[in-house]
Amino acid sequence: VTGFLKPLGFRKRGRTYNRTVKGGLVHVVGLQPGAYELREEIPGIRRNLWGQFTVNVGVYVPELDPRGRGSSGKQILAHGCLVRARLGALLPERSDVWWSLGETWPDSAANVVTCLDRHGLPFLDRYQTPEDVVAQWVGDSEEHRLGGVARVHVARLLVARGDEVGAQTLLQEQYDRTVQ
């Protein structure tokens, strides 16, 4: 995976890769290992993911981080991203995919690279600037496809760009949905 991502501008620390794009956003690819081996697996409720991993992709928007983690040069993790998704959710099947770390690791790694190339990176590439985050959110009828970007965050981006009317509209929508 490193051999694929490094030439594309990603820096690796641990199991996470970061790439800062021209618009100031940070693209994140994170490999998440399964939890420690369970004593008892409960089909349909608790799955044993020991020896497996999944891939998370995300877009970090520095101006929405009051702590300024991105500007400090620290590694950004996928859970700290405004826009995020599991790689499996971006595939045509839209499912939660976990790859094996066992004997099939070379096949798993090749499959992850293929999935990143065809689905993960195109998802990230849609977001080069904060304006792209706003445009994708407003233009996407399925809000959940943006990884749960809240109206309040998009409203903050609109205010930062001087669109107070757009921000008020989003906040009113959020209020109306919450009060119901």
pLDDT tens per residue, range 116-144: 999 999 999 999 998 898 888 766 555 44
Closest C-alpha among 132, 31, 120, 27 to residue 80: 27
**What is the spatial distance between Cα 49 and Cα 36, in angstroms, rounded to a whole number?**
8
Q: Are 90 and 57 in contact (CB under 8 A)?
A: yes
pTM of the predicted model as reported, rounded to 2 decimal places: 0.81
Residue 37 has pLDDT above 70, yes or no: no
Residue 149 has pLDDT above 80, yes or no: no
